[in-house]
């Protein structure tokens, strides 16, 4: 174990060094990233957060300007830090710590072993895993994670709470799980959709730990109530801080109704730019219904592998939510290595990685053509966000195929190695 701890320490130190040295060597780099639409969305941008903090410290409602759409509790936290334009170090340290904690959480998820063997299902390839350190390293040195951290996007915080919620659920810690998920949902709303699969996961771990299965209904109701109370407390605290309930419309309202059509890597903005106003409500409903419909479907079909469902849902969020950024993709792509045992069953890994790589290189190029060179137009960038989403969808679909195939291999051993055919 001491060797492992030493490795972990070394890797965490290296990751921290990268995050602190890069902005020191290239002082303009973080601001450049902060302005990139791929990294900062209207609901996570650090620039907008600074605007909100400025208004907040001058005793103006931060939501008056129509610029700030993030959670109110971030304001007191960031107003404690020194001004990031003069002393960027404090903010950088905060974000570095957030990333390290996230990596720690992802390591805990890997340590739990819930990715290969759950209460109801044990993969036949369960020996095929990467160590928790390798997976944490993958998270820390993922270029998308590093970019998010340097851009100081607040999705880093949401990611931390999502990962913590997963880790706590995988270790059967009810209270911390509820708190972490409440924070994640409070910060960026859509993580609330992770509640069903993670609740199943929590139930599974509790059931294996205690040997006596808790009653399903009391368990579910108790935890749902707990989550409601935690979120209620956070919202009340927010109302207390800002002095009114206006923040609900400015934060969750914006996430739900998409009034800000700034381009991002997702699929919504272009669609809603083109939309006639009379259809807007209808399609908002359809889009949200679509994004949310994965939750029950996946949770029921893959209820034996709840952690896989939760991770797949983060991928769904990275594609189908209204304001996705590369931070969401970073979260999903860092969780995929947990399912190392499914890799031999995946069929399009090269294709998908190539699509993601192409999109990450062509995206900035096309954005440049559209915005700076003026020789392209919005279609250029939108086309590339389609490729990006396609790449992520291929990974998503392929890993789901692999997970189902893995279940099938256990249920019907005689079918192992046979080609599947859809009928």
Partner 1 sequence: MALLSSILALRRHPALIKLPPYLSAFCIVVGIAWLLILPLNEYSRRTYVSENALLPGQVHTYFTGSEHDVFRAYRHEVHALIDRPVEERSKALESIFLEQNLKVSTQKYNYTVSNTTIASENVYAILQGPRADATEALVLIGAWKNMDDEVNNSGVALVLTLARYFKRWSLWSKDIIFLISADSTIGPQAWVDAYHNEHNEEEVESLKIKSGALQGAVAIDYPAGPWGHRYDKLHIVYDGVNGQLPNLDLFNTAVAIADGQMGIQCVIQRMFNHDDTYKERLMTMLRGMISQGLGHATGPHSSFIPYHVDAITLSTVGDGWHDEMTLGRTVESLFRSLNNLLEHLHQSFFFYLLLQSKRFVSIGTYLPSAMLIAVNFSITALALWVKSGKPAEGEEKIASTNPEPSKPATDDKSNSTSPATDTKSPPATEIVKLGDAVTIVPQSSTTTLERPLLLPALLVLTSHAIGLVPLYYFNTHPSTHLRALHLTAANASSILPFVFAWTGYYAPDTPIPTQTFTLIQCFSLLGLGLGLAALATLNFSLSIIIGVLSAPLSFVRRTESNALNILQLGLLAVLNPVMVAQWSSHYLGADLAEVLRLAAVGWRVWGLWTQVVVWVVWFPAWVVGGTIVAGGMF
> Footprint of partner 1 on this chain (CB under 8 A)?
122, 124-128, 344, 347, 350, 354, 357-358, 361-362, 365-366, 368-369, 372-376, 380, 409-410, 413, 416-417, 419, 421-423
Provide φ and ψ at 117, rounded to 5°: -135, 115
At closest approach, how far in Å is the CB of 383 from partner 1? 11
Residue 356 CB, shortest distance to partner 1, in Å, is 11
In terms of C-beta density within 10 A (0-12 exposed, 13-18 middle, 19 or more buried), how is residue 107 classed?
buried
Q: At its nearest, how many Å lie between partner 1 and the CB of residue 374?
A: 4
Q: Least distance from C-beta 126 to partner 1, angstroms?
A: 7
Q: 125 vs 168, which CB is nearer to partner 1?
A: 125
| CA angle at 15 for the pair 52 and 109, rounded to the nearest 5° | 85
Q: Which is nearer to partner 1, 93 or 362 (CB)?
A: 362
Cβ of residue 300: shortest distance to partner 1, in angstroms?
24
Please say whether the beta carbons of 331 and 156 come within 8 A: no
Q: Is the dihedral of CA 325, 327, 328, 333 positive or negative?
A: positive
Specify the residue, 88 or 363, whose C-beta has the smaller distance to partner 1.
363
Classify the phi-psi angles of 118: left when phi > 0, otherwise alpha if psi is within -120 to 50, otherwise beta. Answer: beta
Residue whose CB is less far from partner 1, 253 or 376: 376
Give the integer Cα–Cα distance in Å for 123 and 118. 9
The 8-class DSSP code of residue 348 comes to -
Instruction: List the structure tokens of 278.
Output: 């009379």
- Residue closer to partner 1 by CB (options 330, 346) is 346
Could you please report the per-residue DSSP string of 54-108? HHHHTTS-TTTTS---S-TTHHHHHHHSPPTTT-HHHHHHHHHHHHHHHHHHHHH
Q: How far is the CB of 343 from partner 1 (least distance, A)?
A: 9
Q: Which is nearer to partner 1, 283 or 380 (CB)?
A: 380
């Amino acid at each position: 174990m001491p060797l492992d701890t030493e490795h972990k320490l070394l890797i965490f130190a290296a990751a921290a060094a990268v995050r602190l040295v890069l902005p020191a060597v290239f002082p303009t780099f973080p601001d450049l990233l902060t302005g990139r639409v791929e990294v900062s969305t209207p609901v996570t941008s650090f620039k907008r957060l600074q605007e909100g903090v400025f208004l907040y410290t001058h005793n103006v409602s931060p939501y008056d300007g129509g610029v700030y759409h993030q959670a109110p509790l971030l304001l007191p936290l960031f107003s404690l830090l020194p001004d990031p334009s003069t002393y960027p170090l404090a903010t950088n340290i905060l974000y570095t710590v957030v990333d390290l904690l996230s990596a720690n959480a992802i390591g805990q998820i890997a340590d739990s072993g819930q990715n290969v063997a759950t209460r109801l299902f044990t993969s036949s390839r369960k020996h095929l895993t990467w160590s928790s350190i390798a997976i944490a390293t993958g998270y820390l040195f993922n270029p998308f994670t590093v970019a998010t951290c340097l851009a100081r996007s607040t999705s880093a915080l949401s990611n931390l709470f999502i990962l913590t919620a997963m880790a706590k659920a995988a270790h059967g810690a009810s209270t911390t799980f509820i708190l972490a998920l409440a924070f994640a949902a409070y910060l960026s709303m859509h993580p609330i959709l992770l509640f069903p699969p993670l609740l199943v996961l929590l139930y599974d771990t509790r059931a294996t730990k205690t040997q006596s299965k808790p009653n399903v209904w009391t368990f579910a109701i108790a935890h749902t109530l707990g989550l409601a109370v935690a979120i209620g407390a956070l919202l009340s605290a927010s109302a207390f801080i800002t002095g009114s309930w206006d923040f609900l419309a400015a934060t969750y309202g914006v996430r739900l109704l998409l009034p800000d059509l700034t381009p991002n890597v997702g699929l919504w903005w272009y669609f809603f730019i083109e939309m006639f106003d009379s259809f807007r409500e209808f399609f908002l409903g359809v889009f949200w219904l679509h994004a949310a419909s994965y939750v029950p479907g996946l949770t029921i079909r893959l209820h034996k592998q709840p952690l896989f469902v939760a991770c797949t849902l983060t991928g769904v969020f990275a594609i189908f939510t209204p304001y996705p950024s590369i931070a969401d993709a970073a979260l999903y792509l860092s969780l995929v290595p947990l399912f190392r045992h499914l890799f031999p069953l995946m069929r399009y890994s090269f294709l998908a990685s190539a699509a993601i790589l192409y999109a990450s290189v062509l995206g900035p190029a096309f954005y440049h053509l559209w915005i700076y060179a003026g020789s392209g137009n919005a279609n250029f960038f939108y086309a590339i966000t389609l490729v990006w989403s396609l790449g992520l969808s291929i990974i998503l679909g392929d890993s789901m195929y692999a997970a189902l195939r893995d279940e099938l291999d256990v249920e019907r051993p005689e079918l192992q190695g046979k080609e599947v055919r859809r009928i």
